Amino acid sequence: MVRGIPRNGGRLSHNEKRAHMRTEVRFAGFGGQGIISAGKITGRAAAIYDGKEAVMMQSYGPEARGGACNSDLVVSDAAIGSPQLTIPGVVVIMSQEAFDKYGSVIAEGGTLITDEDLVDAAGAAGASRTYAVPATRIADELGRKIVANVVMLGALSAITGLVSRGAMLEAILASVPPRTKELNERAFDAGYQKGQEVAGA
Least confident of 91-105, 113-127, 148-162, 175-189: 113-127
Using the predicted structure, report yes or no on whether residue 109 has a pLDDT greater than 70: yes
State pLDDT tens for residues 12-58: 443 333 345 899 999 999 989 999 999 999 999 999 999 999 999 87
pTM: predicted TM-score of the whole model, two decimal places:
0.85
To 10 degrees, the CA torsion angle through 93, 96, 98, 103?
70
CB of 45 within 8 A of CB of 36?
no
| pLDDT score, position 86 | 87
Please indicate whether residue 23 or residue 63 has the higher confidence score (pLDDT).
23
Domains present along the chain, CATH in parentheses? 7-199 (3.40.920.10)
| pLDDT score, position 82 | 81
CA distance 104 to 115: 16
Helix residue ranges, H only, 7-147: 14-18, 35-44, 96-102, 135-141
CA distance 83 to 141: 37
Helix residue ranges, H only, the chain: 14-18, 35-44, 96-102, 135-141, 148-160, 165-175, 181-199
CA distance 27 to 18: 28
